[in-house]
Structure 1
Amino acid sequence: MSEPTPILQFGTSRFLQAHADLFFHEAATPRTVTVVQTTGDPSRAGRLAALADPRGYPVRIRGLSDGQVVDREIRVTSVRRTLSTATDWPALCRLAASETQAILSNTGDRGYQPQPADDAPAFDQAMSFPAKLYHLLAHRQAAGGAPLSIFPMELVPENGAVLRARVMQIARAQRAPDALCDWLQACVWVNSLVDRIVSEPLQPAGAVAEPYALWAIQAGPGVALPCDHPAVQLVPDLDEIERLKLHILNLGHTVLADRWLAAGADPARLVRQMMAGPDRAALDRICADEVLPGFAARGRGPQARAYLAVTLDRFANPFLDHRLADIAQNHPEKVARRIGAFLDWVGPDGHAMPELSAIARKAAS
């Protein structure tokens, strides 16, 4: 019999391995996790097995912190079990109905997009993550399980509220009973923001990451931190943190990715290499002439300047092999969310942003 795991995690990414799963391992009171693969990709069977290896998987933390070199490795042992929605749905339902206390997810940039199978009356592997979650929660409610906390970690503004709205939309389409709808509303849908550059996978599991890490969780009724760790913080409002990360760090990555694509998309090109060449000057110009004035127009100039200084140092981290090919995945969607949304936030009466506007128009065409 496997050890009970209070955390049920949807997603197997290297980000989660070097972020939440590492925090659960390092917490003052360690938490244990069951990791669920949602894609059903059989080629990742080796990763699933390695994640739950009792010896743990490696996470290498490399970079600079307060001017000091950090270069250490941790063997993460928080993952005790792995399942796949494609092959283990009955076992997953039993687990969710009994020992699960909290659910977290990081299902990628397209994880919330509706799929045709979402309309099916019973679970189907072709469903989107919110539809799979709906059927799993419905099973828990029918089995008499209590409402629980749900921590989406996708890079979507107000991700908890967005996921709840999509699950409730599915519930209404399925004509769910009032008791189930009330139960779903009683779950705690947590808005959160995550920040850590995880640059390189290790095989068969593990990752290389920078020292900087943040999991900011918005306070609200019933919200409790999933673990006691310095990088996991309860904050009154995510907006300021979210804007800084999305429109400086993420925007900066996407600007570099756009230039990388225009230059021929060398698959071996790294962020730190671009920061050591002429692309650094272009990024500095866009930040100085467009990004910082945009934040200043919204009354957040000092915060943006401080965050930008830290961000540029993170980009130039000499230890991290952060590939532009990874950043450029789903490039049009990232441009819309990171650059287009920044232009909308500043508004047409704000500071002129010709270079960012050009990137947004090109991606949308």
Structure 2
Amino acid sequence: MRQPLSQASIVQFGTSRFLLGHVAAFASSAIAEEGSREAVLVVQTSARPEGKAKANALAHQDSYPLHIKGLRNGVPVEEHLSVSSVAGCLVAQDDWEALERHFIQTARWVISNTGDSGYDVAGDTSLSAVPASFPGKLTKLLYARFKAQRPGLTLLPCELIGSNGQVLKEIVSSLARKDYQDAHFSTWLDVECCWVNTLVDRIVSAPLEPVGAVAEPYALWAVQQAPCLIMPFEHPAIEVVSSLQPYELRKLHILNLAHTYLVDQWLTLDLTDSITYVREAMQEPKLRNALSEVMETEVLPVLALELPNMDLNVYWQSTLERFDNPFLDHRLKDIAQYHNDKLSRRIQPVVVMAKNYAIPTPKLSDALKRKNISNINDKTTLL
């Protein structure tokens, strides 16, 4: 059953399959299992035709399908769920007045996942009738709420940017100072609104048409505690933590590092023509053994000293299950994009940490020496 719009206290910017398979799905579960009343209004932020088509489906369907496919404790999982937390969907370009009215009267939380360039303002102004950028739209809506003398909101961005809540706050605050020159509004943004850093982790691998998603069983939404924080609902995948840094480092240097080291070995062993997906790489003993050995002899011993209170072995085993997912077509060629940069961000810091603990890292060091290696005649490999 569709939730009433009057209960859509969560305004979600973005119709991406990730959000459909992550936050909106958690909200639906909370409504069904825990009696939560907090539904979602989805906002399509761009005017792209495919985005508008998805927004139209979200606006008119009572629910959408979410297929969970993968491994859980070594057992194949295939679940077909129905997500019914979405009470409506508005296209910012076409429905601005309705969006502003809802933002003023009903919103309590703001969720966003606007892509890698989602925080790019690029000369935008919130004084436009409909600002082009997400920060521009958000600033304009927050100013309307401020002028209506409404309480501040809690903002829970999900973009994969370090300290995303604080980064978004600084961008919006800068726009507010430039566009409105209202010290009271700036104080309201700083004091009345709650800007929260979060970290998301789930592979939502494919869309379903006209709207829906396919996701892996694993899911995490780590939310950094703040004195002002009140979450809209509870869910087993949500962890409210004192600091996100250990979670960010664990993800970067286990999940992300493992992907990059797998690509390094895939290139080095010249398996690019015979192996396409991560799941296929994990079935190749040369690749699986190389990955397991470097993690167990170099990466995990270092991280165990650097992050002594984190469940690193459990996380590594769950990562292996995710890599083994027989339903996931995760292309190694895609992971290989910006490979040199990923070697620097994901592997090099572990080598530096290891020196502090006198732990040898010959395999990781060899991978760093292979920067600029390329066995694929494709410009996306090592941009």
Instruction: Look up the SS of the partner of 1:273 in the other structure.
Output: helix
1:8 corresponds to: 11
Q: Deviations over 1:238-290 (max 9, x none)?
A: 22222112221133234445667897978x93221121124334433443454
Give yes or no for the alignment of 1:203 onto 2:209: yes
2:167 to 151, 162, 166: 162
- Is the 1:55–1:75 Cα contact (8 Å) retained in structure 2? no
1:69 corresponds to: 76
The 5 A counterparts of 1:140-289 are 140-174=145-179, 176-186=181-191, 187-256=193-262, 269-277=276-284, 278-288=286-296
Evaluate the alpha carbon distance shift between residue 156 and residue 338 of structure 1 in structure 2; reply closer, same or farther with a 3 A threshold: farther
Question: d(CA) in 2 for partners of 1:246 and 1:49?
Answer: 36
Moved more, 149-158 or 161-170: 161-170
Q: What amino acid sits opposite 2:226 in the alignment?
A: G
Question: d(CA) in 1 for partners of 2:93 and 2:183?
Answer: 29
Give yes or no for the alignment of 1:40 onto 2:51: no
2:26 to 9, 19, 23: 23
Question: d(CA) in 2 for partners of 1:157 and 1:233?
Answer: 17
- Is the 1:85–1:125 Cα contact (8 Å) retained in structure 2? no
Q: Deviations over 1:267-324 (max 9, x none)?
A: x932211211243344334434543244245254974333212211221122333344
2:92 to 67, 78, 85: 85
Question: Which ranges of structure 1 fall in alignment gaps of 5 or more residues?
Answer: none
Structure of higher CA gyration radius? 2
Question: d(CA) in 2 for partners of 1:25 and 1:233?
Answer: 17
Moved more, 286-295 or 355-364: 355-364
- Is the 2:125–2:131 Cα contact (8 Å) retained in structure 1? no
- Is the 1:54–1:80 Cα contact (8 Å) retained in structure 2? no
The 5 A counterparts of 1:285-304 are 285-288=293-296, 290-296=298-304, 298-300=306-308, 303-304=311-312
Q: What amino acid sits opposite 1:305 in the alignment?
A: N
TM-score by length of 1: 0.85
Q: How many residues align?
A: 361
Evaluate the alpha carbon distance shift between residue 68 and residue 105 of structure 1 in structure 2; reply closer, same or farther with a 3 A threshold: same
Q: What amino acid sits opposite 1:109 in the alignment?
A: D
Instruction: Look up the SS of the partner of 1:174 in the other structure.
Output: helix
Aligned-pair CA distance for 1:209: 1.5
2:378 corresponds to: none
Question: d(CA) in 1 for partners of 2:271 and 2:93?
Answer: 37
Evaluate the alpha carbon distance shift between residue 39 and residue 289 of structure 1 in structure 2; reply closer, same or farther with a 3 A threshold: farther
2:128 corresponds to: 122
Moved more, 317-326 or 96-105: 317-326
Question: d(CA) in 1 for partners of 2:341 and 2:54?
Answer: 27
- Is the 1:225–1:234 Cα contact (8 Å) retained in structure 2? no
Question: d(CA) in 2 for partners of 1:288 and 1:359?
Answer: 21
Question: Which ranges of structure 2 fall in alignment gaps of 5 or more residues?
Answer: 374-380
Q: How high is the sequence identity, in percent, across the aligned residues?
A: 41
Q: What amino acid sits opposite 2:205 in the alignment?
A: S
Question: d(CA) in 2 for partners of 1:257 and 1:339?
Answer: 12
Moved more, 147-156 or 165-174: 165-174
Q: Deviations over 1:82-104 (max 9, x none)?
A: 12233332322222111111100
CA RMSD of aligned residues (A): 3.2
Question: d(CA) in 2 for partners of 1:235 and 1:100?
Answer: 24
Aligned-pair CA distance for 1:357: 3.1
Give yes or no for the alignment of 1:57 onto 2:70: no
Question: d(CA) in 2 for partners of 1:47 and 1:191?
Answer: 28
Aligned-pair CA distance for 1:229: 1.7
The 5 A counterparts of 1:349-364 are 349=356, 352=361, 353-355=364-366, 357-358=368-369
Aligned-pair CA distance for 1:164: 1.1
1:306 corresponds to: 314
Q: What amino acid sits opposite 1:3 in the alignment?
A: L
Evaluate the alpha carbon distance shift between residue 125 and residue 180 of structure 1 in structure 2; reply closer, same or farther with a 3 A threshold: closer
Question: d(CA) in 2 for partners of 1:294 and 1:280?
Answer: 20
Question: d(CA) in 2 for partners of 1:288 and 1:18?
Answer: 32
Moved more, 289-298 or 182-191: 289-298
